[in-house]
Amino acid sequence: PSAALALLCGSAAAMVVWKWLGKRQIQKKMEEAQRTRDEGVKKMAKAVQQFREQVSNVQTDAILSLPLLELTGRLREGSLSPKTVLYTYVEKALEVTQQTNCLRHFIPECEEQLQEIQQQREKGLLYGIPVSIKDHISHKGHLSTCGLVQCLGTPVQEDSVLVKVLKSQGAIPFAMTNVPQSLFNYDCSNPIFGQTLNPFNHQKSPGGSSGGEGALIAGGGSILGIGSDIGGSIRLPSSFCGLCGLKPTAERLSVWCTCLLNIDVCSHPTPVPCALGPMARDVDSLALCMKALLCQEMFQLDPTVPPIPFDEEVYSSSAPLRVGYYDTDGYFPLPPCMRRAVRDTRGALQAAGHQLVPFSPPRIHYVMTELFLKTFFADGGHAWLDVFTGNIIDPSLKPQVNCCKIPRLGKKLLALILKPLLKNVPTISTCRSVKEMWNHHHQIEAYRTEFITQWRELQLDVVLCPVLGPAFTSGYPGKLLTAISSTMLYNVLNFPAGVVPVSTVTEADEEELKHYRGCCDDPWDRTLKQAVAGAVGLPVAVQCVALPWQEELCLRFMKEVETLSREK
């Protein structure tokens, strides 16, 4: 017995030591990643200082205030040099990330790209434009971390197709921006690089998962960024940070060599695909970016992208539109200011000569639980849980992680218990066989057909609808996954959808929020109320939608909304 006891104690001690060594190794990896980032920041700060010593009369504010279209014109005609513009934006990005922690890493090779574009025979559409990219968009020689420890090993060996095309068009990728851990959150925090803050209010989140992009562009540290969207990850940061953002039809832009995580939705065949898209301060910037990307080089580098160039005629059209509209999807009622934004925009569009038609998206509760959540948690969330090496989990993700850890039977019992208390209990269904998975894919296709049929019966060109906002207090997005029904719908449908800021939260909105009851004043409704409180002065946006492959029409509608809101 004494020998057995000694063996047992020795095994337990060995297990404790083994776990401690594993955690220590993880900690060292995280510290090394943080140190690399800090060294990169110091290097770029030194480069800016050296540039300042050489060129002392740079009109920083004037350059930063130029819209993208005007900036490209000045660069192409030679009245501004790409070097001056690059270092002006790097300097501003250093300032913004110091305040908001929006950068994951600078790209020092931007100085090499600066030399290369000056040797290009033809100046591309984005000649000399500094561009920021989301952490998981591959850039040669850099990590694509997704905020995960397991991705801190080997740098990427090749630029993604999108980065290659940006460079061929003369753009200079100069920074990679922070993301939430595993990308599956619309806050922006991870255990390696920390929490990103909203530049307008540091108590608020910039949104996610393209939250670093949102904070950097809104803070003035980048003029054009590339994000990704599979549930609202371009549109939510755009809403929270007062930007314009476009989620195209998923296959319109290449996602090759983007975030090759073993569970990543960008690299797996899924019925709800990931889309890459632009984020900027105005709609014309989004249009120029799409025009630059939809070129012969992208079609050659990625043969899966349909060779459809940007249709300038559709974007420039001024013909009246037939616009469907709704201010609630009936699943998760949004705060009063977001519904007001839709009503005000509807009135402005009607006054401008467009035809407005009431529209009601069908069966959103079914879409949210049976189509969207089932796509990502078909296995009960096991593959997703596997990516959290060493059980290192960001606090903002713990509500979702804890939910996934509950056994299947426990989830069913919990759903039954909570149903009387919560109207929209997100029961996470699983696919227990290949047949069930195929049936799930068929259900998504059938819903798309149903939605398009309803759209065509009303003879709609586009749809105006709400987007989640205003910016949540940090930490709240992880508690309200189901609040993203307004954006998630158009990922399931794979429709192009964009966000345009049209207003700001007023004192009257804040007062009306006090009387907000949501669906039935349940705990989730009260949590949403807490999440958006204290937002006076923060941006308020609307969402614009078109049918698949009609990005130009979606952008044209967004431009119309932007013009009318600015006039007002």
Catalytic entry in 132, 182, 209, 429: 209
Rounded Cα–Cα distance for residues 532 and 254 (Å): 35
43 catalytic? Reply is no
**CA separation, residue 436 to residues 349, 363, 443 (Å):** 44, 21, 10
Among the residue ranges 212-216, 396-400, 449-453, the one predicted with the least confidence is 396-400
Catalytic entry in 29, 92, 134, 559: 134
For 263, the token pair is 């569970």
Residues 248-266 have pLDDT tens digits of: 999 999 998 765 444 444 4
489 marked among binding-site residues? no
**CA separation, residue 278 to residues 32, 103, 470 (Å):** 31, 17, 21
pLDDT at 3: 79
Q: Tally the residues of the chain.
A: 568
- pLDDT, mean of residues 144-167: 94
- pLDDT, mean of residues 180-204: 97
On the question of a cis peptide bond just before residue 474, with omega within 30 degrees of 0, the verdict is: no
Residue 158: pLDDT band with limits 50, 70, 90: very high
**CA separation, residue 263 to residues 273, 443, 451, 476, 556 (Å):** 13, 23, 29, 25, 36
Q: Which residues of 425-440 are buried (b: 16+ CB within 10 A; e: fewer)?
A: bbbbbebeeeeebeeb
Place of tokens 């562009």: 217
Catalytic entry in 138, 228, 233, 474: 233
Among the residue ranges 7-11, 338-342, 372-376, the one predicted with the least confidence is 7-11
Rounded Cα–Cα distance for residues 177 and 10 (Å): 46
Rounded Cα–Cα distance for residues 263 and 27 (Å): 23
209 catalytic? Reply is yes
Residues 17-35 have pLDDT tens digits of: 777 777 888 999 999 999 9
**φ/ψ (deg, to 5) at 506:** -105, 170
Q: 183: closest CA among 387, 421, 458, 433?
A: 387
For 373, the token pair is 């959540």
Give residue limits of the domains in the chain: 67-363+456-567, 364-433
For 227, the token pair is 């994000």
CATH class of 67-363+456-567: alpha beta
- pLDDT, mean of residues 434-439: 87
209 marked among binding-site residues? yes
Residues 202-218 have pLDDT tens digits of: 999 999 999 999 999 99
pLDDT at 269: 53
The helix/strand/coil state of 132 is: strand
pLDDT at 266: 43
Rounded Cα–Cα distance for residues 510 and 529 (Å): 10
559 catalytic? Reply is no
pLDDT at 259: 56
231 marked among binding-site residues? yes
The H or E element spanning position 502 is strand 497-504
More confident residue, 540 or 118: 540
pLDDT at 419: 66
Question: Distance between the two ends of the chain, CA-based, in angstroms?
Answer: 85
Q: Which residues contact 271 (CB under 8 A, 6 or more apart)?
A: 375, 440, 441, 444, 445
Residues 293-336 have pLDDT tens digits of: 999 999 999 999 999 999 999 999 999 999 999 999 999 899 99
Among the residue ranges 7-16, 54-63, 440-449, the one predicted with the least confidence is 7-16
Strand ranges in 258-321 using DSSP code E only, listed in sequence order: 275-280
230 marked among binding-site residues? yes
The helix/strand/coil state of 262 is: coil
**Please, what is the average pLDDT of the chain?**
92
The helix/strand/coil state of 173 is: strand
Q: Which residues contact 436 (CB under 8 A, 6 or more apart)?
A: none
Instruction: Give the global pTM.
Output: 0.94
More confident residue, 137 or 260: 137
The helix/strand/coil state of 329 is: coil
